[in-house]
């Protein structure tokens, strides 16, 4: 067993703050990721919050300020359960680092994407109880974990526009896969914003503030933004770059793993594809000759509008090096960008380029 209840073979990028992803093969063929395998992304120490004394404050541009206990949340609002994928905007950063170094950021592989069944209440219902006032445009989330990565150091936070915050899928969740939310995933209560980058799903939630402008928290105003390639990220300030919200179309090969030896003959190549807000995965093309020719993978239906979709291609592999490439199309007819180099940005977000792996296919046994 690893730390924080995780499996022993997690790829731990940092122990403190804890940042870890599962080996890609552990995600293969599993529509729901078990809690011990689910990636975890933290910008500060993991706080210990006592559920008995925990309070959620709701304030800002509301008719009535609220202060809710866990019991108030559970008893006062309809319970909802839904499967949703979380994906860090830094997922597959390693592919960008291979293009040009990105100092100070973890080289995540494609494992910073996982799916759980979340249980809680709709944020929309809590906002309705508070009543939104004229001018309410954004809903800001606050948490107690103080990040030294932020400039200046500050507790983690973020916001989503009112239109998303009042959509029924956005949860204040206390349950994950039918169990109490684990501490590292935000206990007692976290936000789950399906279809948006993981950064907006604020853990250890303690405050909801309704505002006219997006949160001025470092992780909303300055980080999680796509800067132009020539920008100096240390000089970037609030409002610079493109603020990330809805998740972009992505795809990863999960099994067999890049570089792994595989026997020749019949093989099944498997992976995930994920389209965020308002889109679904429409098609996955897979090539076993470096992109010269393509076959269409079998794509599983999603578990709902907010989850990744697993895919597989049954194929025959000839001995030698086999270059596998996978690329997804979404329901708007958009295709992922081909090259990581075109997507390179100073903080290393949004590597949604085609998935690539080289397999060492062994000759038949004599």
- Piece in contact with ligand MTE (CB under 6 A), picked from 40-48, 225-233, 262-270, 334-342: 40-48
Smallest distance from the beta carbon of 197 to ligand MTE, in angstroms?
Answer: 7
Is residue 308 involved in binding ligand MTE (CB under 6 A)?
no
Considering Cα of 67, then 59, then 149, then 93, what sign does the dihedral take? Answer: positive
13 and 93 in contact (C-beta within 8 Å)? no
Distance of CA 182 to the CA centre of its chain: 17
Residues 74-93 that bind Mo ion (CB under 5 A): 88
Q: What is the DSSP string of 44-108?
A: S------TTT--EEEEESBSS-EEE-HHHHHHHS-EEEEEEEEE-TTTTHHHHHTTS--TTS---
Is residue 42 involved in binding ligand MTE (CB under 6 A)?
yes
Is residue 159 involved in binding ligand MTE (CB under 6 A)?
no
Closer of 24 and 89 to Mo ion (Cβ): 89
Considering Cα of 127, then 132, then 138, then 140, what sign does the dihedral take? Answer: negative
Question: Which residues, at least 6 apart from 235, have a Cβ–Cβ distance to it below 8 Å?
Answer: none
Smallest distance from the beta carbon of 106 to ligand MTE, in angstroms?
Answer: 11
Residue from 143, 221, 251, 317 that binds ligand MTE (CB under 6 A)? Answer: 143
List C-alpha distances in Å: 308 to 144, 245, 270, 279, 282: 30, 17, 13, 11, 12
- Piece in contact with ligand MTE (CB under 6 A), picked from 39-47, 62-70, 101-109, 322-330: 39-47
202 contact, one of Mo ion, ligand MTE, none, CB 5-8 Å limit per kind: ligand MTE
Is residue 204 involved in binding ligand MTE (CB under 6 A)?
yes
Smallest distance from the beta carbon of 37 to ligand MTE, in angstroms?
Answer: 11
Q: Which residues bind to ligand MTE, rule: CB under 6 A?
A: 38-43, 86, 88, 143, 145, 156, 185, 198-199, 201-204
């Amino acid at each position: 067993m690893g730390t924080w209840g995780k499996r022993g073979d997690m790829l731990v990028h940092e122990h403190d703050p804890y940042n870890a992803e599962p080996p890609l093969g552990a995600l293969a063929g599993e529509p729901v990721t078990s809690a011990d395998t689910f990636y975890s992304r933290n910008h500060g120490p993991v706080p210990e919050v006592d559920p008995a004394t925990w309070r959620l404050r709701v304030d800002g541009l509301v008719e009535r300020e609220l202060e809710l206990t866990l019991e108030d949340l559970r008893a006062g609002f309809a319970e909802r359960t839904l499967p949703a994928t979380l994906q860090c905007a830094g997922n597959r950063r390693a592919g960008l680092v291979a293009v040009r170094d990105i100092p100070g950021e973890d080289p995540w592989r494609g494992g910073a994407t996982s799916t759980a069944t979340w249980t809680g209440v709709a944020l929309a219902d809590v906002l309705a109880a508070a009543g939104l006032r004229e001018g309410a445009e954004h809903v800001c989330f606050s948490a107690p974990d103080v990040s030294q990565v932020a400039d200046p150091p500050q507790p983690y936070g973020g916001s989503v526009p009112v239109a998303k915050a009042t959509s029924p899928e956005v949860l204040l969740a206390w349950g994950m896969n039918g169990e109490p939310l684990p501490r590292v995933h935000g206990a007692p209560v976290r936000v789950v914003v399906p279809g948006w980058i993981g950064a907006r799903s604020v853990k250890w939630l303690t405050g909801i503030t309704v505002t006219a402008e997006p949160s001025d928290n470092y992780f909303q105003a300055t980080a999680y933004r796509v800067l132009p390639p020539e920008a100096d990220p240390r000089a970037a300030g609030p409002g610079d770059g493109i603020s990330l919200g809805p998740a972009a179309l992505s795809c990863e090969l999960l099994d067999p793993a890049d570089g792994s030896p595989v026997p020749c003959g019949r093989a099944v190549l498997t992976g995930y594809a994920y389209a965020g807000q308002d889109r679904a995965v429409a098609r996955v093309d897979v090539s076993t000759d470096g992109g010269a020719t393509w076959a269409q993978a079998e794509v599983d239906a999603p578990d709902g509008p907010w989850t990744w979709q697993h895919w597989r291609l049954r194929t025959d592999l000839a001995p030698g090096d086999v270059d596998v490439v996978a690329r997804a199309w979404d329901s708007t007819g958009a295709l992922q960008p081909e090259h990581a180099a075109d997507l390179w940005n100073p903080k290393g977000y949004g590597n949604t380029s085609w998935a690539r792996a080289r397999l060492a296919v062994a000759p038949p046994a004599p």
